[in-house]
Amino acid sequence: MRRARLKRSEGAKKKRRLRSVETNLDKVHKEAFDWGRRVGFRAGEVNAELEPSANVDEVFSDWQDNFTQGADYVNFILPELRKMAGCRDYAGGTYTDCTDEQNEIYHELLDKFFDGAFEGFKLAFKKAKKGR
């Protein structure tokens, strides 16, 4: 009996988390985009300083490939985006508890994050070209 009650309460918590994220979806999308733009701008400044005349699309693609293999991305960015989507990580982030809807939102947030990162990258390169 107690186990059934716990399962029902867990299910209710998931539904509340999902409802909370869904009602604030535009806000969460903007938050992921802005965060990505800040990360991309900082990375873009470093890359623009090293290769000011390089093609932004190519440099961003290279950066993205390297960034997604790094510890910051895996241990900080991804868990935070999952949390923003309403998912729950446990066992130190090794396992994730997401509904199908939350997983869909999580992937939307990943897209928004990298859209923002590309925007930040372009801004950094534009700023570097103006400064020369």
Alpha-carbon 8 to chain mean position: 30
Domain hosting residue 77, numbered range: 2-131
Region of poorest pLDDT, from 2-11, 26-35, 44-53, 61-70: 2-11
Place of tokens 């965060």: 35
CA-wise closest residue to 31 among 96, 87, 95, 108? 108
* Number of domains making up the chain: 1
99 vs 118, which has greater pLDDT?
Answer: 118
Confidence of residue 13 (pLDDT cuts 50, 70, 90): low
Q: Average pLDDT of 37-54?
A: 91
Q: What is the pLDDT of residue 29?
A: 95
Residue 132 has pLDDT above 90, yes or no: no
Q: What is the pLDDT of residue 51?
A: 82
pLDDT in tens, 49-98: 888 778 899 999 999 999 999 999 988 999 899 989 988 877 666 567 88
